[in-house]
Amino acid sequence: MKICILSEKPSVAREIANVVGASHKEDGFLHGNGYMVTWAFGHLVQLAMPEEYGFTGFVRENLPIIPEVFKLVPRQVKEGKEYKADASALKQLKIIKHAFDSCDRIIVATDSGREGCLIFRYIYSHLNCHKPFDRLWISSLTEKSIKDGLQNLKPGSDYDNLYFAAKARSEADWLCGINSSQSLSIAAGRGVFSLGRVQTPTLAMICKRFLENRHFVSTPFWQIRIQTDKTGVSFAAISREKYDNKDAANKVFSLLQQQKTLHVQSVEKKEVHQEPPLLYCLTTLQKEANSKHGFSADKTLSIAQKLYESKFITYPRTGSRYISADVFDEIPELLNSLKTHPRFGSYAESMDSAVLNIRCVNNEKITDHHALLITENTPNGLSGDEQTVYEMIAGRMLEAFSKKCVKDATTILLANGDTVFDAKGSIIKQAGWRTVFGEQEETGEDETGNLPEVIKGETLPVIQSELLEKQTKPKPLHTEATLLGAMESAGKEVENEAEREAMKESGIGTPATRAAIIETLFSRDYIRREKKSLLPTEKGLLVYETVKSKRIADVAMTGNWENALAQIERGEMQPETFSKAIEVYTRQITTELLETKIVVANENTCLCPKCKSAQVRFYPKVAKCTDANCGLVIFRNISEKQLSDGQITDLLTKGKTGVIKGFKSKAGKTFNAELKLNENYRVTYDFPDKLAGKGKK
C-alpha cells in the first residue's frame, strides 16, 4: 500500500519523512519506503472572490452577496485591481494532486487544530479527491511524538466537527468582511474601508479605550499618610478615606497634628497561600511576552512556531493551560532535562518529582491540545529572542509544578478620632514557585515588609504626617497584552450586565488568529504603536465613529458567534443553524452600513499647541491634530456640556477658556468653571478664586 502524508509546511514534512524513511527528495515532495510526503504552504485553497460569482466592483444593488454554494479556488494574489491565482500555489497543488492520485490512502499531518483541518479539507475538496484519509494528531515534532502518533492514527471522520466549525468560520468571515467592507465604502462615496467580523470589534475596543482615556477629566482627591513607630520599628499607614474636598482633609490633618497619637483599632494576621501560575496557553504567552519584553503578539507566535518546528516546545497554537494525567507522567523526565540548563539547573535539581504540584492537571479542561511545554530536546543555536521565549516556557513549567508561595500577611487599623488608617505588611515564609525567576509580588505604594508586634487598644505616636494630593486616573491605553486579554474575555468589555454574564466564557477570535487580527489593523492603517500602547489612527477613529453603534462593531455579538463555533466543534450545534444566522446578520449589517454617513471635518482649523507644526481639525464630536504621532484630541462633550468652536479655539490658542456655566458632576450637581490645557495637553477644570468664593456663600 502506498501512503501519502500531507503536512502544512516543508519543515514539518522533512521531520515526518525522516521518521517514515521517505529519504528521496523530488521537487515538492519526498518519497521512499512506501510513502510520499508532501506539503502545503498554509492555505493553498481559499473561498472565491465575488468576481467568481459574477459580481464585479462595488455596486449597491449587488449587496448583500450571499453565494448559494461557496466556490473554492487556488490561493489568490492581487495584481493591480484584479485577483489572480498564485503561481506557487498552482504549482504545489499540481504536486499534491499527483501524490493523491499515486497513493491508496492519505495521512493528514497539517497542524492539529481548526485551521489545520480546514487547510487539508479545502485542498481535498478542490482536487475532488475521494481517497480515504486518517489523522495524525500530535503535540510536538519530536521523533517519539511522531512515531507514537503514527501508531495511533485516528479516522479522518473523527474530526468532521472541527472541520465544520472551521468551514463555518471561514464562510462567516467572507460574508461579513466582503459585504460590510463594500457597504461602508459605497456609503462613503470615496476610498476603500475594510471591516470584519472580529477585526472591527477589536478596533472598537482600542478606540473606545483611547477615547475614554483622552476624554477623562482628572479630579483631585486627598489622603493623609502618617509615620508611626513601635520599639524602634517605623512603619507607614494611609487614611482609608479619600477626601474630594481639601478643606475636609485639612481639618482632619490639623487635628492629627495637634493630638499626635493613634490607637490600634484592630490587628489581623493570616497565612496566605499563593498557588503557582498555570502553564502557558498561546494567549497568556503572548500577553506576558508583550508586557515583560515588548514583543508583539505576532512576533511571539512566530518565535514559538519556530521553536515548535525545531522540536524544542510542544504545539504553540493551544488555548488550554492544562495537561492530561498521561502527559503529567512525562513531566519528571522533562524537569530532569532542565538540570543542566544554565539558568534553571540548580532550581530543577532541587525539585522533588514525587511531590509535584498538580493544579494544572485536568483532563476535562483540555481543548485540541494541552498547554505549552518544552520537549526533551536540549535547545542550541537559539537567537536572543528565541532564548527569551524558550526560557519563558521552561520557567513557567518549573513554576507550575512547584510548591505554593506561603506568606504571613498583617493588616493593622489605626484610629485617630473618626479617621482610620491602614498599615499593611507581609513576610514570605516559603518562596515556592516565586524562586524560579526570583519574582517579587507587586505591593501597594504604602505596603511594607514585616510590621512590629502591636496589640489592640495600644497607643502609638505620630512621628510624621503629610497631606497627599492625588489625581484620579483614566484606564490606561490598551497594549497588545491588555488587548489580547480583552479579546480572550470579551464579555468583560460588555456594559450590559445580562449580556456580560451570558458571555462570561466568551472571547473573540481564537488563540491562533488573534495576533493576525491585530496585524491586520496595523496593515489597514487603523492603529499604530506608541511605545507599548496601541492608538487608533485618524482613519481608525473615523471608521470607529462611523460604525461604533452598528452590529458589525458589537463585541457581544462576535463573542456569541465564537461560542456557536465552539458548539459546532463539540457537535452541539448544526453548522447549517449557524450559517443561517450569519446570513441574517449579513443582511442586517449591509442594510445598516449602506445607510451610514461618514463624518468629515468642518473647515475650522488651528495650529496645534502640542506639536506646533500640524493643524487641529474640528469634527462634530472632537477636535484633533492631523499629525497622528502628536495625538492631541479635544472632546466637545465635557461633563454634559457641549463646547463650541470658539471655546475650543480659546483652549488651543490661549490655553484656557472663559468661565463656562452648566457643567454637571457625577452626582448631578451643576457647577461653573474655566477649562484649561495642562502640561500634558489634557483638559482640566480651573476654579478661579472668585468662583471658589461664590461657592462658599
Q: Which of 115, 140, 142, 149 is nearest to 5 (CA)?
A: 149
SS3 per-residue string spanning 66-77: CCCCCCEEECEE
Q: Which of 83, 159, 280, 315 is catalytic?
A: 315
Q: What is the rounded CA–CA span in Å between residue 496 and residue 79?
A: 45
315 is catalytic: yes
> Are 494 and 556 spatial neighbours (Cβ–Cβ below 8 Å)?
yes
> Are 615 and 208 spatial neighbours (Cβ–Cβ below 8 Å)?
no
Q: What is the rounded CA–CA span in Å between residue 241 and residue 2?
A: 78
What residues have CB less than 8 Å from 115, skipping those under 6 apart? 166, 512, 513
Report long-range pairs for 147-156 (Cβ below 8 Å, ≥24 apart): 147/19, 150/19, 150/20, 150/107, 153/107, 156/108, 156/132
Strand partners, 607: 615
Report long-range pairs for 642-650 (Cβ below 8 Å, ≥24 apart): 643/675, 645/602, 645/604, 645/618, 647/675, 648/606, 648/618, 648/623, 649/604, 649/606
> Are 89 and 126 spatial neighbours (Cβ–Cβ below 8 Å)?
no
Residue 362 phi/psi, 5° resolution?
-160, 105
The CB density around residue 254, as the number of other CB atoms within 10 Å, is 11
Q: Tell me the C-alpha to C-alpha distance, in Å, between residue 628 and each of 123, 264, 361, 539, 541.
A: 43, 55, 48, 10, 11
Q: Tell me the C-alpha to C-alpha distance, in Å, between residue 87 and each of 76, 93, 446.
A: 9, 10, 64
Catalytic residue numbers, as ranges: 315
